[in-house]
Amino acid sequence: LPNGPDMAAAFLGIAACATCAPLNPGYRREEFEFYLRDLGARAIVVPAGTEMPVREVAAQLGLTVMELEPSTTQLAGSFTLQGMPAEMVSAPDWGRNDDIALVLHTSGTTSRPKQVPLSYRNLCSSAHNIARLLGLSPDDSCLNVMPLFHIHGLVGVLLSSMSAGSSVVCSAGFQHDSFANLMSSFETTWYSAVPTIHQSILAVARENPAVAKCGQNNFRFIRSSSSSLPPTVMAKLEQTFGVPVIESYGMTEAAHQMASNPLPPVARKPGSVGLPAGPDMTIMDDDGNLLPAEEVGEIVIRGSNVTAGYANNPQANEAAFTGGWFRTGDQGRTDEDGYFYVTGRIKEMINRGGEKISPREIDEVLLEHPAVAQAVAFSVPHPTLSEDVIAAVVLDAQGTVSETELRQFVFDRLAVFKVPSRILTVPSIPKGPTGKLQRIGLHKSFEDELHIEYVEPRTELEKRVVAVFEQVLDTKPVGTTANFFSLGGDSLKATRALAQLCSDYQVALPAVSLFLNPTAVKLGVEITRLLGENTGVLEKLLAEIEGISDEEARLQIL
């Protein structure tokens, strides 16, 4: 079912007496077939009168198809189910604590998606934990913009609100044009979202100051979860809406919430996911030893909201549990006050020639640039380094900045080996169905942007730089705009190339020159600048370069 009051009410009703497995209505036929077979589903619920590929799959698998018909005369969320078999029409057999109420699948970015069964005990524990932490009451109303086939929307918003007797405005999902109208019409007191949606809401507020004013009048707080919230985005939200932003940390296997920053007057720490807010939490090393404050390891949890284990997957369970603790797969640490910091997803860590890099750290630096609205760093395969670092950014509506300037911006703030070889400016960044950025395999989405056409050298200087690149990299041909590191370069090869060029032109190229200027045209510009003390050489080179149409190169030379 699509997002909305019917989906919310159907989940609450069905999950109260049967195992419910909400699926993304945007799935393709093959995806529906995989999930329905894997679940061993007996029946599906679909909107009445709609054509969906899942109907064909249901017919193929012999599943009962029930059609949801919304009421046109009663309250939102009132409906009837057409096509329910007679044996299902009976007094409900209400679920008990350890019965399975909900089954969701992990995202499957690195392996086959795994089934996560969640019991009534898991769901109710998590819902009560969230409601208590946020101080929810019947006076609260949440504007839900998260998909209701995801744990964030189902438990973080819907069940937590129901457990507190408060209300939920069930939108069709986040949409620029409807967000302002819904928050105003229903006087919502909070909303919860992933960072990418928060960034879009900030854009809405910039375009329409009335949105910010409405939020300032009605919101009690704003909640963020499911992905790390950059401190700069947190600060902008608080400045725009004048309320505290509460960052929480959750995952499907924990029925959503694990940790959270508390509401004022207790301290909130930007960059931290807060204090344990439900399960027991600590940091563990690879050997199962628990670590003290400030030591980095894997975040582990245990408690009444944590799944008992993946369904039909003993191998995954053996890897996931150590001494009763569930391994989250997240790398992190605690400070002396007990606040948790997530430093990266272990499987997302980039291994660049033996140097381990957290892509989140690069994201946060790029987001500090005033022209950048969204940023994501990710890995690409590399012939000698194993992996290289690339970043993609979406600029603010009024933002203008070159790739060279962005790389310099990162270089000024992070170690050289963390500076992305390429920073792509793109109109949008692909996201998963819940709005989360998915780094693993992201390079495949940018194959066109990463491909660079061969460009002939145009001056004697460029010809010499290209020749050195070809010699050091042992590859031909190398164009003037090709990235040295993307072609297989590493720090040792960079040192060799710079040493040769320093000898050729009698200039002192710093060791970082090639990291900052990784193409023949840009390194040629840097050599020209260093030769500037010799006016005769400079005049000759400028004469050679006069015909270059590359505006950025010409401006740097001038």
| Per-residue pLDDT tens digits for 30-39 | 889 989 999 9
What value does the mean pLDDT take over residues 2-13?
Answer: 95
22 versus 417: the higher-pLDDT residue is 22
180 versus 349: the higher-pLDDT residue is 180
List helix spans (H) across 195-295: 195-207, 209-218, 231-241
Residue 109: pLDDT band (50, 70, 90) is very low
114 neighbors 106 (Cβ within 8 angstroms): yes
> Does residue 477 have a cis bond before it (omega within 30 degrees)?
yes
69 neighbors 133 (Cβ within 8 angstroms): no
Looking at every residue in the chain, the average pLDDT score rounds to 88
Phi, psi dihedrals of residue 69, rounded to the nearest 5°: -110, 105
172 neighbors 199 (Cβ within 8 angstroms): no
Sign of the four-CA dihedral 316, 320, 322, 326: negative
544 versus 10: the higher-pLDDT residue is 10
Residue identified by tokens 């750290």 is 361
Whether 11 has a pLDDT exceeding 50, the answer reads: yes
What value does the mean pLDDT take over residues 440-445?
Answer: 79
329 neighbors 286 (Cβ within 8 angstroms): no
CA distance 358 to 340: 16
**C-alpha to C-alpha distances, 303 to 126, 300, 402, nearest whole angstrom:** 10, 11, 49
Whether 555 has a pLDDT exceeding 80, the answer reads: no
- The greatest distance separating any two alpha carbons of the chain, rounded to the nearest whole angstrom, comes to 96
Phi, psi dihedrals of residue 66, rounded to the nearest 5°: -110, 130
Encode pLDDT of 224-240 as tens digits.
Answer: 998 778 888 899 999 99
CA distance 307 to 454: 53
Whether 533 has a pLDDT exceeding 60, the answer reads: no
What are 310's strand-pairing partners? none
CA distance 237 to 234: 5
Whether 183 has a pLDDT exceeding 60, the answer reads: yes
pLDDT at 558: 52
Residue 538: pLDDT band (50, 70, 90) is low
Encode pLDDT of 460-501 as tens digits.
Answer: 999 999 999 999 888 889 999 888 888 888 777 888 899 999
pLDDT at 155: 97
326 neighbors 365 (Cβ within 8 angstroms): no
Inter-axis angle of helices 460-473 and 535-545, nearest 10: 90
| Tokens at 366, concatenated | 């790029």
What value does the mean pLDDT take over residues 205-214?
Answer: 90
pLDDT at 208: 87
> Does residue 265 have a cis bond before it (omega within 30 degrees)?
yes
Encode pLDDT of 39-86 as tens digits.
Answer: 999 999 999 999 999 999 999 999 999 999 998 887 889 999 999 888
Whether 162 has a pLDDT exceeding 80, the answer reads: yes
| Tokens at 295, concatenated | 């030591």
Encode pLDDT of 277-328 as tens digits.
Answer: 999 999 999 999 999 999 999 999 999 999 999 999 999 999 999 999 999 9
The amino acid occupying position 116 is V
Encode pLDDT of 390-441 as tens digits.
Answer: 999 999 888 889 888 998 899 888 877 788 989 999 998 887 666 666 777 7
264 versus 203: the higher-pLDDT residue is 264
255 neighbors 123 (Cβ within 8 angstroms): yes
pLDDT at 449: 80
pLDDT at 370: 92
Encode pLDDT of 86-95 as tens digits.
Answer: 877 777 789 9
Phi, psi dihedrals of residue 171, rounded to the nearest 5°: -75, 170
Whether 549 has a pLDDT exceeding 90, the answer reads: no
Sign of the four-CA dihedral 17, 19, 24, 30: negative
What value does the mean pLDDT take over residues 508-515?
Answer: 85
CA distance 410 to 403: 11
Provide, rounded to the nearest whole percent, the portion of the chain with pLDDT above 90.
55
pTM over 0.85: no
pLDDT at 267: 92
Encode pLDDT of 254-284 as tens digits.
Answer: 999 999 999 999 999 988 999 999 999 999 9
**C-alpha to C-alpha distances, 125 to 131, 258, 340, nearest whole angstrom:** 10, 11, 21
Residue 110: pLDDT band (50, 70, 90) is very low
